[in-house]
């Protein structure tokens, strides 16, 4: 169990840094006719998914691709401008290429080092979630963004999905009453889960892949399944829960987590993953202004069964609001007088939509980022929000037995 004192002692500095620092004047807004030239760092599976959408946005051109793995870099170049430059070192890309913005989709442990360097080079940044790999990184990235007046969008794309924005308004208008409990779920059962494909070490600049992570011999398993090794990722909490946790923070604004209680075990990946393949956590929040307890947030996730898949329920005094990536449903409590409501973005698909069979939230999120680059407005998920939502995932991991403060 992690309580408020032990966890927030580590996170206080990063959250305090949320006050915008006085830096150089922001770049003037770009006209709609100016081309935004983008460099991509980390064109792996998720990176290329984002590139597919980014390259189709009007006035955007991907002119540089950087990856330490030959295979990923070559695949990324196929999605870039035909004249795009290729790099192994992102620092060389920043020094040698004229860029307006960067898309960062590296493993988690490289998110802050690469994104901060891009901000300091004067680029606007879209960084995949979780923004940070540890609580301690929060102040560094907030300072880099605010000191350099950059537009940073963190890749928790639920904030840009129209049906979830409408669901948020229902909650804020009191349609479900007081929200006391939030149940978040993300379950999967994928064949072959755990064992990663082999990679020829001659095709990888392993030292650059490690970056600031502890030095260690090349390992294909750890490279390809990095999300599930503590040096590089944070498992289910930082990979999946952070999406629903960010959505709940956006919808409810509950404040900082005051306590976390977590459990985790290996059922299908024992001997392979370091992080558990099945987890639960209960997050508690401070009392409200009227003295009543803050909401409880419960998350469960497993890679051993796909029941309910990916969804969240906001349980209120008048109704329950069910949301997933393709719908919301307002389900009234008995005798509440609330009228049921729903919005289906993909009526032909079942509830619990996962990443690749749902409404394309990434497209909306990238559109928002590009619009904010032009206007210099705050994006849907700015840096402080990305740090705070990642901190919920770090709190859940820190509360796992044997993990201690993360």
State the CATH number of the domain containing residue 367. Answer: 3.40.50.720
Q: Are residues 95 and 219 in the same domain?
A: no
Residue 108 near residue 229, CB atoms below 8 Å: no
State the CATH number of the domain containing residue 261. Answer: 3.30.360.10
Kind of pairing, strands 327-332 and 341-344? antiparallel
Q: Which two tokens stand for residue 288?
A: 């409200």
* Predicted local distance difference test score (pLDDT) of residue 31: 59
Residue 404 falls inside a structural domain = no
pTM: 0.91
CA distance 93 to 74: 16
CA distance 15 to 140: 11
pLDDT by position in tens, the chain (length 406): 555 445 444 544 444 333 333 333 334 456 566 999 999 999 999 999 999 999 999 999 999 999 999 999 999 999 999 999 999 999 999 999 999 999 999 999 999 999 999 999 999 999 999 999 999 999 999 999 999 999 999 999 999 999 999 999 999 999 999 999 999 999 999 766 778 899 999 999 999 999 999 999 999 999 999 999 999 999 999 999 999 999 999 999 999 999 999 999 999 999 999 999 999 999 999 988 888 889 999 999 999 999 999 999 999 999 999 999 999 999 999 999 999 999 999 888 888 877 666 678 999 999 999 999 999 999 999 999 999 999 999 999 999 998 854 4
* Predicted local distance difference test score (pLDDT) of residue 359: 77
Q: Are residues 353 and 208 in the same domain?
A: yes
Q: Are residues 352 and 248 in the same domain?
A: yes
- The CA–CA distances, whole Å, from 26 to 38, 113, 145 equal 18, 22, 11
Residue 406 falls inside a structural domain = no
Q: Are residues 235 and 356 in the same domain?
A: yes
Q: Are residues 106 and 190 in the same domain?
A: no
Q: Are residues 81 and 219 in the same domain?
A: no
Phi and psi at residue 330, to the nearest 5°:
-95, 115
Q: Are residues 124 and 175 in the same domain?
A: no
- The CA–CA distances, whole Å, from 122 to 53, 60, 344 equal 23, 17, 41
Q: Are residues 277 and 350 in the same domain?
A: yes
Residue 66 falls inside a structural domain = yes
CA distance 211 to 108: 11
Residue 38 falls inside a structural domain = yes
Residue 302 falls inside a structural domain = yes
* Predicted local distance difference test score (pLDDT) of residue 19: 32
Q: Are residues 335 and 290 in the same domain?
A: yes
CA distance 255 to 388: 9
Residue 386 falls inside a structural domain = no
Residue 265 falls inside a structural domain = yes
Domain that holds residue 232: 160-360+391-398
Q: Are residues 173 and 63 in the same domain?
A: no
Number of domains in the chain: 2
Residue 58 falls inside a structural domain = yes
List all residues 6 or more positions away from 39 whose beta carbon is below 8 Å from its beta carbon. 62, 63, 64, 65, 66, 93, 94, 97, 99, 101, 102, 103, 123
């Amino acid at each position: 169990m992690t309580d408020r004192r032990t966890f927030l002692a580590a996170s206080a500095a990063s959250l305090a840094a949320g006050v915008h620092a006085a830096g150089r004047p922001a770049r003037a807004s770009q006209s709609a006719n100016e081309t935004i030239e983008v460099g991509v760092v980390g064109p792996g599976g998720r990176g290329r998914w984002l590139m597919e959408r980014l390259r189709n946005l009007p006035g955007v051109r991907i002119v540089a691709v950087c990856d330490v793995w030959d295979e990923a870099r070559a695949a990324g170049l196929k999605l870039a401008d035909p004249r795009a430059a290729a790099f192994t070192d992102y620092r060389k890309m920043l020094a040698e290429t004229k860029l307006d913005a960067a898309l960062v989709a590296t493993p988690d442990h490289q998110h802050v080092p690469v994104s901060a360097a891009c901000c300091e080079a004067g680029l606007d940044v879209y960084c995949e979630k979780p923004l940070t790999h540890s609580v301690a990184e929060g102040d560094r990235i907030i300072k880099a963004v605010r000191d350099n007046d950059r537009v940073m969008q963190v890749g928790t794309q639920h904030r840009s999905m129209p049906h979830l924005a409408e669901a948020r308004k229902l909650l804020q208008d009191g349609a479900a009453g007081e929200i006391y409990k939030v149940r978040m779920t993300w379950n999967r059962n994928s064949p072959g889960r755990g064992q990663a494909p082999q990679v020829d070490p001659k095709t990888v600049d392993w030292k650059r892949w490690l970056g600031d992570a502890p030095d260690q011999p090349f390992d294909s398993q750890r490279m390809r399944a990095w999300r599930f090794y503590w040096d590089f990722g944070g498992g289910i909490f930082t990979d999946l829960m952070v999406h629903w946790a960010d959505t709940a923070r956006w919808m409810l604004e509950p404040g900082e987590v005051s306590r976390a209680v977590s459990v985790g075990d290996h059922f299908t990946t024992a001997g392979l993953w370091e992080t558990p393949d099945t987890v639960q956590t209960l997050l508690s929040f401070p009392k409200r202004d009227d003295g009543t307890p803050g909401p409880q947030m419960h998350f469960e996730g497993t890679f051993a069964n796909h029941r309910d898949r990916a969804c969240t329920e906001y349980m209120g005094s008048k109704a329950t609001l069910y949301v997933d990536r393709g719908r919301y449903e307002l389900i009234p409590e008995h005798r509440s007088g609330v009228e049921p409501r729903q919005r289906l973005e993909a009526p032909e698909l079942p509830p619990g939509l996962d990443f690749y069979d749902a409404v394309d939230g990434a497209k909306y999120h990238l559109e928002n980022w590009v619009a904010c680059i032009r206007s210099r407005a705050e994006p849907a998920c700015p840096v402080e929000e990305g740090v705070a939502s990642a901190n919920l995932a770090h709190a859940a991991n820190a509360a796992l037995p044997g993990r201690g403060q993360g």
